[in-house]
Structure 1
Amino acid sequence: MEFETKYITPDIKLALFEGKLFKTEVMFEHHMLVWFISGETKIIQADATHIFGAGDIFLIPRNQLATIINYPRDGKPHKTVAMHLTKERLKEFYTRHTAVGKLQPLQKVYRFSKHPLLESCLASLIPYFDLGDDLPPDLAAIKIEEAISILRSIDKAMDGLLADFEEPGKIDLTDFMERHYMFNMTLDRFGYLTGRSLATFRRDFKKTFNTTPQKWLTEKRLELAHYQIAEKKRKPTDVYFEVGFENLSHFSYAFKSHFGYPPNALFKDRD
């Protein structure tokens, strides 16, 4: 079995992956706090790429588009503990604690490399994954509140993220799409993140780009792939999933249809 997932509650899980590579496009509904036990993950966002390995701890804010690629490393599987910081739990927390500073969503992945307090908090969960029905009923709430308190003590600006409960408002479509076109998300998701219904998103997109979202997204992804292969000397097998295609055969077919030659043709002039 390549995948195994154990839960304390739906908000706290232990995930194990033993395959060669697993890639997914995500937009988390809730903030996600992750502790790496083994393996490696690459997180690709519009403005940055992050690589995390054993011992690393990081927080991915909600409503952020990202491509996530998981690998085993050093003969060990990809193994993580993940905790969802839901809006419901955070709202309850902030009824008892005053948020400090300006409430402003911060658009980045937070890295807490082997922070002893966070590592202790998350490592203490390991014995509970095998308890099943014997789990103390209030444990999840206690451990999540502990994690929130530690995050706030580490970063004084953390309230700006955790205490912000607003949904995405209507934003500039051109800027957002130019920064996020490589993420293989549904049009519903693109609409949500730009503060639009699907129908409004389609209408505004046509007015802004004078074409359909599907055609524009495909062409932009192919142009990015061409640049990565031709200029950055990367292999098509390393590029297609990072630019928004689900499989290599579809990517190769679309590439040849658009440019008139397959992606491997760009290797002919290389030493």
Structure 2
Amino acid sequence: MPSLPEISLRPQILYSCYHSRSSEGEQFVPEHILSFQLAGTLTTFDGNRQQVFREGDLRLSKRNHLVKFSKQPPEHGEFKSLSVTLDQDTLRRFSLEHGYHAAGPPAPDEAVVALPLTPLYQSYLDSLRPYEQLAEASSAGFLALKLREAILLLLNSNPELQNVLFDFSEPGKVDLEAFMSRNFHFNVRLARFAYLTGRSLATFKRDFEKIFQLSPSRWLVRRRLQEAYFLIKEKGRAPSEAYLEVGFEDLSHFSFAFKKMYGVAPSRL
């Protein structure tokens, strides 16, 4: 059975429940998301670091990051999580009303921050349960208050997150070679790579070809195939696993490209 979210309160506050044995994927995180792990295990990888979140764990996923994830339900159970999205409009209004601003050096460039589940966080989680069955039209005002409560709670429990929550700047220009070498296996459009490296699409393509002597599309295919070869040959991964890990969407396209580059089908490597 495919994994489908069952209960959606509104875009900012979401209860998710998945029935499948496991679910894997990747996503671009456009807004900060505070998440409570209610059941099952979530494994995340941001290109640098792998983290595992189990039942009772709390995390903040930071905006403008790429993340691969694997969701594993508990034995004979369901994967469940609660996510509170702290969008830029809400944070900007909060900043203007309460005078909070990002101050000091930029926060460490990690996509997901593990937070201790303190009694205050637990009380907040418990306070959300009565809203689970409310219709959006009747609960919008209450839920808006819960978003503001989440911001206050984060600032009270983890003051260092002020520099994260109230940094409204867009991604700055970064080392393109280092960024692409770290994130080539994320299956996103070139325009997204350009944005995350602080460039227009035209500038991204121009800078890319100066550094790699190849177009972004050709380099990505070659680099992903090289990584797939390593995973299959040296790590014993099945082609049906490797093609997703390195950023291909389709197994048949991956197999065709692999055989064209290496002269042998990945299944016969």
TM-score by length of 1: 0.89
Partner of 1:39: 40
Alignment deviations for residues 238-257 of structure 1 (CA, whole Å, 9 cap, x no partner): 33222112233333332222
**Structure 2 equivalent of residue 106 of structure 1:** 108
* Counterpart for residue 180 of structure 1: 183
* Mapped partners of 1:21, 1:249: distance in 2: 23
Report the AA paired with residue 186 of structure 2. F
RMSD: 2.1
TM-aligned CA deviation for residue 97 of structure 1: 3.9
**Who is 1:269 aligned against?**
none
SS class of match (2:64): coil
User: SS of 2:245's equivalent?
Assistant: coil
Which residue of structure 1 lines up, in the alignment, with residue 197 of structure 2?
Answer: 194
Q: Deviations over 1:103-143 (max 9, x none)?
A: 52432111125433223312322221211157444222221
Q: 2:160 aligns with which of 157, 160, 176?
A: 157
Q: 1:189 to 1:134 in 2, by over 3 A?
A: closer
1:219 offset after TM fit, Å? 1.1
Unmatched runs of 5 consecutive residues or more in structure 1: 267-271
Q: Indicate if the aligned counterparts of 2:102 and 2:164 stay in contact, CA closer than 8 A.
A: no
The alpha carbon displacement at 1:69 in A equals: 2.3
Distance 1:201 1:100 in 2: 28
AA of the residue aligned to 1:187: L
Indicate yes or no: 2:213 matched with 1:210.
yes
Query: Does 2:236 match 1:233?
Result: yes
Q: Deviations over 1:211-230 (max 9, x none)?
A: 11111011111111222232
Q: Please show how residues 109-148 of structure 1 align to structure 2 within 5 Å.
A: 109-133=112-136, 135-148=138-151
Partner of 1:69: 70
Partner of 1:260: 263
Which of 111-120 and 82-91 deviates more? 111-120
- The 10-residue stretch of structure 1 (87-96 or 56-65) with the greater mean CA deviation from structure 2: 87-96
Contact 2:5 2:16 in 1 (8 A): yes
The farther-off stretch of 240-249 and 183-192 is: 240-249
Is the Cα contact below 8 Å between 1:103 and 1:163 reproduced in 2?
A: no
**Matched residue pairs, number?**
266
Alpha-carbon distance between aligned partners in 2 of 1:23 and 1:155, rounded to the nearest angstrom: 30
CA distance in 1, matches of 2:254, 2:74: 27
Cα gap change, 1:216/1:56 in structure 2, threshold over 3 Å: closer, same or farther? Answer: same
Offset of 1:205 from its aligned partner? 1.6
SS at match of 1:14: strand
Question: TM-score, structure 2 length as denominator?
Answer: 0.89
Residue 54 of structure 2: aligned partner: 53
Residue deviations 1:139-177 (CA, integer Å, cap 9, x gap): 222212222222222323111111100011222211211
| Range with greater deviation from structure 2 (182-191 or 154-163) | 154-163
Distance 1:263 1:73, change over 3 A: farther
The one-letter code matched in structure 2 to 1:90 is L
Q: Does 1:90 align with 2:125?
A: no
Letter in 1 for 2:4: F
Q: What secondary structure, in the 3-state scheme, does the structure 1 residue paired with 2:17 have? A: strand
Residues 10-19 or 105-114, more deviating:
105-114
Q: Is the 8 A contact 1:128 1:135 kept in 2?
A: no
Q: Which moved more, 1:73-82 or 1:15-24?
A: 15-24
CA separation in 2, counterparts of 1:253 and 1:75?
39
SS, match of residue 33 in structure 2: strand
Moved more, 100-109 or 194-203: 100-109
Check if 1:170 corresponds to 2:184: no
Contact 1:35–1:81 (Cα < 8 Å) also in 2 = yes
User: CA shift at 1:99, angstroms?
Assistant: 4.1
Aligned residue for 2:249? 246
Alpha-carbon distance in structure 2 between the residues aligned to 1:63 and 1:246: 22
Q: Which runs of 4+ in 1 moved over 4 A?
A: none
